[in-house]
Amino acid sequence: MELKRCTIMKWFSLLIVVLFFTACGGNADYSPKPRGYFRIVFPKKEYQPYTEGCPFTFEYPKYATIEQDKSPGAKPCWQNVQFPQFNATLHLSYENIKSKKEFDQLIEDAHKLSFKHTVKATSIDEGVIAYPRRHIYGIYYTIDGNAASSAQFFLTDSTRHYLRGALYFNTEPRLDSIQPVLTFIKKDVDVMIKTFKWKD
């Protein structure tokens, strides 16, 4: 009887050891996994003209919509280019320049509004925009990091017209998660600027 009990105990101990090593999975990797994100399916890039009652035209993507800015104090040619699939908005605000003093103030405001993101931005780069044949001049601000706005710009003919654009995502800014979408939308902003024209 004692021999039988001893044999059972040996088999039981062996079973415990086998189960222990099987459960541990010898080659298990316990390093932290990187954060995962949903796969984004981007639409085909196709563009259409914006030719409404404002003193400018440009091309914008067919997967975007343009709405009148309804915020308090918004002026007639303040528009929002909505990217509903990506939860992003390109805010456009147009001003009719009436004096040199007003023009200088608009340029200064564009600079201040872009650099107010310095707290969260890792860098802010300025690029010159110049299309002399179309009387279009301006500056493009590329804002890197977890800033609320990732791209801003202004366009002007230096005498009568001024348009400012600011791209915002309607969510908490996290560059690592929005980077693919940001790159995609920035190409649309580039097309808009390259096709932009004053009507007069």
DSSP bridge pairs for 78: 93
Single-letter code of the amino acid located at 42: F
Residues 6 or more apart from 52 whose CB is under 8 A from it?
66
Q: For 136-153, how does the pLDDT look when each residue is reduced to its tens digit (9 = 90+)?
A: 999 999 888 777 788 999
Q: What is the dihedral of CA 39, 43, 49, 53, to 10 degrees?
A: -50
In this model, does residue 1 exceed pLDDT 80? no
Q: For 4-59, how does the pLDDT look when each residue is reduced to its tens digit (9 = 90+)?
A: 555 666 666 666 666 666 655 555 555 665 555 556 789 999 999 999 899 999 99
Q: For 164-195, how does the pLDDT look when each residue is reduced to its tens digit (9 = 90+)?
A: 999 998 877 676 678 889 899 999 999 999 99
Q: Are 123 and 144 in contact (CB under 8 A)?
A: yes
Single-letter code of the amino acid located at 169: F
Which stretch, 27-41, 80-94, 107-121, 165-179, has highest mean pLDDT?
80-94
Q: What is the pLDDT of residue 32?
A: 61
18, two tokens:
């086998």
Average pLDDT of the chain is 85
Nearest to 58 by CA among 146, 190, 173: 190
* 38 Rama sector, left if φ>0, alpha if ψ -120 to 50, beta otherwise: beta
Greater confidence, 111 or 61?
61
Task: Taking residues 124-134, report their average pLDDT.
Answer: 94
Spell out the SS3 assignment of the chain.
CHHHHHHHHHHHHHHHHHHHHHHHCCCCCCCCCCCCCCCCCCCCCCEEEECCCCCEEEEEECCCEEEECCCCCCCCCEEEEEEHHHCEEEEEEEEECCCHHHHHHHHHHHHHHHHHHHHCEEEEEEEEEEEHHHCEEEEEEEEEECCCEEEEEEEECCCCEEEEEEEEECCCCCHHHHHHHHHHHHHHHHHHHHCCEECC
Task: Taking residues 49-71, report their average pLDDT.
Answer: 95
The share of the chain scoring above pLDDT 90, in percent, equals: 58
In this model, does residue 159 exceed pLDDT 70? yes
Q: What is the pLDDT of residue 126?
A: 92
In this model, does residue 119 exceed pLDDT 70? no
Q: What is the pLDDT of residue 179?
A: 85
| Sequence ranges of the domains in the chain | 50-198
Greater confidence, 74 or 173?
74
- Please say whether the structural domain 50-198 has been given the CATH code 3.30.420: no
Residues 6 or more apart from 76 whose CB is under 8 A from it?
53, 54
| Pick from 57-66, 71-80, 107-116, 154-163: least confident | 107-116
Burial of 127 by CB count in 10 Å (0-12 exposed, 13-18 middle, 19+ buried)? exposed
